[in-house]
Structure formats: C-alpha cells, structure tokens
Chains A and B, each alone.
Chain A
Amino acid sequence: MALTETPMQAEKAKTIFEKSKAGRRAAALPDVEVPEKPLAELIPENLLRAEAPRLPEIAEPEIVRHYNRLSRRNFDLDTGFYPLGSCTMKHNPRLNERVAALPGHARLHPAQDPRRAQGALELMWLLQESLSEICGLPHVSLQPSAGSHGELAGLLLTRAYHADRGEQRTKVLAPDTSHGTNPASVTMAGYEVVKVATNERGGVEMDDLRAKLAENEGEVACLMLTNPNTLGVFDENIAEIASLIHEAGGTLYYDGANLNAVMGHSRPGDMGFDIVHVNLHKSFSQPHGGGGPGAGPIAVSDRIEPYLPKPQVVRREGSNGHGPSFDLDFDRPKSIGRLRGFQGNFGVFVRSYAYILSLGGDGLSEASETAVLNANYLKARLAEGKSGERLPIAFDRHCMHEFVLSGKPMKRDLGLATLDLAKRLLDFGFHPPTVYFPLLVDEALMVEPTETETKESLDAFAEAVEKILTEAETNPDLAKNAPYTTPVRRLDEVRATRRPVVRQQLG
C-alpha cells in the first residue's frame, strides 16, 4: 500500500494553548455597572490569586476553526457504522436535542421550588412510569448518573436491605463474562467479588453457581447479571437462578446494558430481578457525547423501595377539583441518601422521554425485534466464507442483539490478532466492534449492530471483513500495520502509561 501522507496526517496536531497569542480574545463582557471597589478591600489579599490563569488568548474565528478541525479528527455515529458491542450505538434523533434545549428545560434551575417546576417533575414521573413498565418493576429512581452509578446504587440498596433485616453479608457473585464496572462497583460498595463460571451455552454454569452459594452460605448479598449477557445470549435458566439467589437470601441485580434486546419482549422484573439499571444513553437514544453524558436510572421491587435514594419524584392526587401535582419527597427515613447533587441528569431524561413518546410501546418492541434481527443477520453473513472459517462464533446459537466472535483461528492461520483486524477496519470506514471482551473468549470481537442500521450497512461491513481476511492471506502485514488513512496511525499507548504526559506545559 502506498504510504502517502494524507493532508490531515500532514497537519501537525496543535493545541489551543499553542495557538494562543498574548492580547487576543473572543469574549466581550457586560460592563460592571456597579460602583467598583479595590479587590483587596473585598477579599483579603492572601486569598487572592496573583496572576490570571494562563488560558488561551484567541479570537472567536480561530476557536471555531480549531474545534471544527478537531471534530474532523473524530469518527462518529452520524458518519458511519459503529457496531461496538455492549454500547448500543443507535441513531440519536435530533428532535430530542431540540426539546432538551427548550428554555423551560435548559434554563430551569435545579433548586426551583417544585410548585414552579411542575412540568419537569411530571416529565420525570412519566419517565419513571415508562421505565417501570418496560422493566416490570414497580418503583424507579432516576438519580444515578450512569450505568456504573446505577450499579453502585443497587449494591448500596442491597446493603441497606440486608442491614435493615439485621444481616451483614460480604460477597457478591458475578459471572466471568460481566462488564468491568460490575466488579469495580462491588469493591466500591465494600463487598468482595466471587466469580461464577459460564457454561457451554454461554449462560451461568448452574453447578458452579450452586457450589459458590454453598461455599458462601449466608454471605452472598447479591448476584449481578446481564441478560442477555455479554455473549449476546439469553440465559434460559434465569428463573432457576433467581430462585436459588432468593432462597439464599440475596438480591438479583440486572445490568441493563443489554436491555435493547428485550424491550417489550421480556422484562427483568418478570425474570425475578430485584434491581435493574437502565442505560438511557444506550437503549433510549441519549447521544454518547464521546464518553458522556448518560444516565443510569434504577427500577426496583417492592422490598427494595424503602431504601431508594432521595429525593424521589412523587405524584400527589389533587383534591377540591384540582388536578394531580408533583413533588420531591425527602421524607424517606430508610433511604440510602443522595448519590449526587440535585435530581439527576434531567437533560438526558427529556431526550429519553421524547424517544419513548416517539416510538410508543409498539415501537420499542419493534426496535428490539429489529436489533435482534440485524444481529442475527450479520452473524449469519459473517458465518459465511472466510470470516466463518477464521472468525467463528464463540457460542453457536441464535443470538439476541449482539454476538461474540473469536479471532483465535485467524491468529493461528494468518497471524492476525483481533486488534489488527480492528485497526484495518478503520481504513474501510468502519468503527470496529468491541475487542478483547468478554475475557473468556480468545481474541474476542463483540458485535452489536443495533436496529437503526440498514441491511446494506450490515452487508458492507461483512464484505469489508471478508476483504481484510482475503488480503491477509497474501499480505498479512497490511493489517498488522494498519491503519493508514486515519488522522494518526497506531499510537504508543504503553508510553502514555509509563511516562504519562497529561497536560500541556505552559510557558
């Protein structure tokens, strides 16, 4: 391959601080308007800053150019296929941005008296009701800021539930296929993780589960599970798992990262889960923003409800001919307390509620159907030809909304690691699947196409994989040195950890 430098590669990355020139500026501020006093008369000198922080000095046109140029150095969902497993990269409807920006939402102060924020509280209540119906659990708190925050909330709820019954439990079970946040949350909540093995169908290994429950009798606080799990398969034993955990006195936690597979088809509450977190930035179309913001509301069963974070949004029936009103309930003596400031990521709630209104019950159910159809179709396409041979499916059965391939034969036969395939896909204009996760599959590739992709996109992706595997038969170095066309090529990540440079030195 000709190694001609692209124009974008030739443009050396310069930070906005390096573009700064003393005396330039963008902002014009209002006049002070009031009679001014010397600063040191208002605040003691020893508490004042000696020199202004060295922020960039740059005019507005150059700021716009700088960030527009940077934006072109990003790949994004609006540009192309983004089959990142477990991330649900579905289209982000622009209507949601428009309604979130309405002044009644965007400029509403979070400490506004509930009587003057009735629309916002009603919206939150309606979203709670919708999520309750989708999850099959009666109570919802919108407070957690992300999935990981929801997990921590769920574990603290579990702790409060047991403490209220005079029990002190120390262990939390999680399958070896679980998301990394699960064990990290377990540690933060003061529990110890006990791993549970996976069976040959990709579900929880029941004998191991029984063994772990027996070994840790009276100690197990919770089992955290994703269903469908990170292998993209539905655990058929879930009802039995639920009764084993409940008999052992534990709670069952549902990591809702994969809820997009089952909306309107199966509900975590009906499966026996006590606590569910929902990633509004996955199933409910909040844009990912390059790594946030999101929101991770939780839905819980009756027995967990008393411990929910506060405040809780409540609806009060009207009297004397008045309609219902909405309020923040702080009077929750058994609550675990706050998980964050104010009421949660309201802007995300607006977008997700707009999404639910747009699709309706049937639409959500159809979204899951199409997500599952798309995943199975792409899985079938990749089971053909060279990809079928070099990238076999890790667990050969129908998948739900995502599936996991193993690059082990590709590595053995062609010398290509999963990472090489991923990097070569970049040259073909695709975001690669999630790689090297879950950990129990060798050279794993986790593919989640979502419902908002066309058959043509799925075909094009399958063809690109086929092409890469074909070229690798004669020239494996092509993939091993990829990518070639991206703004930068492979980066030295080891150096960034060994000798981290995490800020610019300013002159």
Chain B
Amino acid sequence: MSDSRNRIAARVAQDIPEGSYVNLGIGLPTLVAHHIPADREVILHSENGVLGRWQKPQEGQADPDVINAGKEPIELLPGAALFHHADSFAMMRGGHLDFCVLGGFQVSAQGDLANWHSGDPQSIPAVGGAMDLAVGAKRVFVTMEHVGKDGTHKILPQCTYPLTGSRCVSRIYTDMAVLDVREDGLHVREMAPGVTRDQLIAATGAALVFGL
C-alpha cells in the first residue's frame, strides 16, 4: 500500500463530515475508511446490502456471508442495517448517498468519468455498480493518480475510454492536486506540497482555472 495512495485517501477523508452516508468504491477509495477519525460518525454503504461501520475481521473470524462490494470479508460494528439488492440500489440511484468515492481511468473537463473499461476488445467487460453510483450519489469524488504510469494524461478535454457516466464528477483528488469540476471548467482547489503550477499544467490534459 503506497504512501501516495494513502495520502490521497487521507485528503478525501478530510472532506467527509460527520453524519454522511458514503459509498467507497473498490481499490484506493476503500482506504478512505482508514483515515476517518474514530470519533467522527460516518456511515458506510456497500452495494451488496449493508449500511453501517465495519472493520477487517480477526484472523480466522471471517464469515463468507459478511463481505463488502470487493468480496472481502468484513466484521460489522454496532448499528449496521441489512437490506436486499433492489433496496440497496434504490439508495444509490435515488440520491440518498451524500458521497461516493470512485477510482478513475479518465475524467474529462466536463466531469465525464471513465472507470469501468479500457476499451480493449480483448478484456472481459464488467460494470458492477459503477454506473449507478456515478449518477446516483449527491456528490461524486474521483481518486486517481494524476497521470498514467507511462506519463499519459488522465484528465482530458474528452475521455477516450468508454464512459461510466457523463457530467457526473464533482471533485478529483490526485497525488498532485484537488480539482473541482464546475460549469466553466476544472478549478484548482489545492496543490500537493512541492507541486508547482507549471508542473500541474503539464500533467493535465485539460485547461485549469487557478482561482487561488
């Protein structure tokens, strides 16, 4: 688990206030839960039918019927509620979740999100609940590395990968910056320590608005 990923997760956690109902996607977003202070009551939602708070079970205590959306075993803490799939997705699609935090392959300047398919015809397509979350939560936060491993831009004028949702992203958290998606473009909310304005512009495929 890299420091960079945890720094992004910790930064997202700062913006999740007490009383929020939150769905954390698979991968980096799952780490956000570890950075929410124990005395701040934030209620997690997992698409397979649970609201509440949970932790990793003790060794040997895993129950195959108590798992999260990533199919990892969890141990429910007091206050949890269970429900079936149609109710679970009604919560997601009906605008009841305050936040969802999703991973991203690409985000466009208009807030389009691509995070389910690389477009490679040889890959096995699988969408799960990504499209439901992208349009259903009140605020959609995307976490990702600012550029790809090979240096390619992931924040672009238009996504080149198949979309998960159009105009759905509220805010982007990367290892370099926090960006707000607004009607007039991507606003730089903050930059990570040591990152310069020129570096950020070079690492971003879409125009940025610096209103700091």
Is B a genuine binding partner of A?
Answer: no
